[in-house]
Amino acid sequence: MNVDRRPDIFKSYDIRGIYPDELNEDVARRVGRAFVDYLHAPTVAVGRDMRLSSDPLFRAFADGATLQGAEVIDLGLTSTDELYFAVGHFGYPAGAMITASHNPKQYNGIKLCRENAIALSGETGVYAIRDLALADRFTPAAKRGTIVARDALPDFVTHCLSFIDPATIKPLKIVVDAGNGMAGLIVPAVFKHLPVTLIPLYFDLDGSFPNHPASPIEPENMVALQGAVKKFGADLGAAFDGDADRVFITDEHGALVGGDMVTALVARNLLRRSPGATILYNLICSRSVPEVITRNGGTPVRTRVGHSHIKKIMREQNAIFGGEHSGHFYFRDNYYADSGLIALLVVLELLSIESKPVSELLRPLDTRVRSGEINSHVADSTAKLVQLERHFDGAVIDHLDGLTIQYPTWWANVRPSNTEPLLRLNVEADDPGTLASKRDELLSIIRA
């Protein structure tokens, strides 16, 4: 059985592998049984994306869950943020999303959550479910569960629109690249309620991804969107990943806008309604982000990278919002789950209220230069981090996530990969010359 040969498909945040060699119906069935067994869940809401293997994997997962006596709520084709919404809004004790997010077409996966849309990580359930699935010693329930279909989209649309005042939205023109992913279904359902001209790119649901991979964090996958924004004179461009929970935007000129700058824009607008609120940002974000939060009366809190860390701190501190450079945007009133669609709506509301183009809104915020993430293969990550800390002994140092080195005019973070022998470097500086100099200095040590 494949699950026995490839336990490594159980990752820190989800289950993911190539179909059918690594992740297939046998694995999905066992995971469905193990998930219900682990949570003792009487009901499981299950959604799926448009990948070619998602239907058979859904059927197998549902078969396993019902064998253990659970009622499966079949949400049909949906986005990951709609799945999280459904679990929280309807009070389901568990949820699963069949998706491989931004990965290429040969992949698929399963994202798992418990009540209140609390996502399971490796330490909080995924590895335990792996062990149960590997053992494959399940006792079937006395009575098999049933499968009941439910369409959560109308309620999800109402929920998303509740984050803004639709009456304030001006007749903007935006281009949206769905990448043949689930945004092609979700985005039109929301925007039909707004006075926005929507120019769709690749809205046909197609798990073969005939146009480009649904991974907008890669600049090459944003080229079509950038061209369309310029061609149609749009106010903004937005691209979603395959399961439509992440978003990346462009300004009115087609220039790419980083996830940290979107975090700053969303924070600024949310603080209008919630003055003094706490807002989280991960430590890869620009220094401009906490500055914007403070300037607009909020309380910024710096966190490690990754949704499990951010969601935990958001709940502890009742933070209204958290943002990451990677296009994940978390909202307290969205069950602390991420939604690129809600983030996009909040940005559009800010554009409408300010009556300024995106580039003008960003000009006073986006004043520094960044390297982007640079990966380097290293034999001994720990030794390299010690070497870097000794080299920059005059810096302000912290170990919140890897090693962060801070000086008045620049900073860098070096983090080990969880899955590969890699160090991930991010540098920000006040000017291009400092950025180039410090980036090269850091890389010369990392790659020596």
Domains with residue ranges and CATH for the chain: 2-151 (3.40.120.10), 155-253 (3.40.120.10), 259-362 (3.40.120.10), 369-446 (3.30.310.50)
Residues with a known catalytic role: 101
Question: Rounded to the nearest 10 degrees, what angle do helices 381-391 and 432-446 cross at?
Answer: 130
Closest CA to 198 of 344, 338, 342: 344
CB 292 within 8 A of CB 267: yes
DSSP state of 152: -
Cis peptide before 200 (omega within 30 of 0): no
* HEC per residue, 103-129: CCCCEEEEEEEEHHHCECCHHHHHHHH
For CA atoms 14, 15, 19, 25, give the dihedral sign: negative
CB 276 within 8 A of CB 297: yes
The pLDDT of residue 1 is 45
CA distance 183 to 196: 16
Q: What residues contact 386, with CB distance under 8 A and at least 6 apart?
A: none
CB atoms inside a 10 Å sphere around CB 372: 12
The pLDDT of residue 307 is 86
Structure tokens at 112: 């798992």
CB atoms inside a 10 Å sphere around CB 382: 9
Distances (CA, A) of 349 to 271, 346, 447: 13, 5, 45
Structure tokens at 321: 């919002």
Strand partners, 43: 71
CB 392 within 8 A of CB 405: yes
Closest CA to 336 of 350, 363, 318: 318
Closest CA to 111 of 15, 43, 193, 179: 15
Q: What are residue 145's phi and psi, to 5 degrees? A: -75, 175
Closest CA to 171 of 400, 430, 405, 348: 348
CA distance 28 to 21: 13
Half-sphere exposure of 11 (CA within 13 A, CB side): 19
The pLDDT of residue 136 is 94
The pLDDT of residue 332 is 98
CB 267 within 8 A of CB 249: no
CA distance 30 to 389: 46
Q: How wide is the angle at C-alpha 406 spanned by C-alphas 403 and 412, nearest 5°?
A: 55
Q: What residues contact 201, with CB distance under 8 A and at least 6 apart?
A: 175, 176, 177, 178, 224, 225, 228
Structure tokens at 185: 């279904």
pTM: 0.96
Structure tokens at 394: 């005059």
Q: What are residue 106's phi and psi, to 5 degrees? A: -75, -10
Closest CA to 340 of 274, 257, 440: 257
Kind of pairing, strands 321-323 and 278-282?
parallel
Which regions of the chain are under pLDDT 70? Answer: 1-5
Q: How wide is the angle at C-alpha 331 spanned by C-alphas 35 and 129, nearest 5°?
A: 15
The pLDDT of residue 105 is 97
